[in-house]
Amino acid sequence: MPDIIKNQIRCALLATTLFTLSACGENAQQPSVSEAADSASYFSDARETGQGRLKVLYVPAPGFAYENEEGQLSGVSIAIMNDFKAWFERYHGVRLQLDFVAENDWSQMYQRVANGNGGVFGLGNVTITEQRREQVAFSPAYLHNVAVLITPDDVETVEDDQGLAAALADLQPVAFAGTLHEVRVGELRDQLQGDTPLQRVDTNQAVIDQVVNGHYSYIDAYNYHRAIEQGVAIRHHPAFSIEGERFGIIMPKDNDWQTLLTAFFAAEGGYLKTGRYQQVLQEHLGDEVAATLLKAQ
C-alpha torsion sign, points 152, 157, 160, 163: negative
pLDDT of residue 11: 47
pLDDT of residue 15: 41
* Pairwise CA distance, residues 239 & 68, whole Å: 35
pTM (two decimals): 0.78
pLDDT digits (tens, 9 = 90+) for 82-100: 999 999 999 999 999 999 9
Q: Are 109 and 202 in contact (CB under 8 A)?
A: no
pLDDT of residue 35: 61
Crossing angle of the two packed helices 221-229 and 287-296, in degrees rounded to 10: 160
* DSSP conformational letter for 33: T
Ranges of the chain with pLDDT below 70: 1-35
pLDDT of residue 30: 41
User: Exposed, middle or buried by CB within 10 Å (0-12, 13-18, 19+), for 293?
Assistant: buried
pLDDT of residue 297: 80
pLDDT of residue 163: 92
H or E segment to which residue 245 belongs: strand 242-251
pLDDT of residue 2: 60
pLDDT of residue 179: 86
Rg, the chain, Cα only: 20
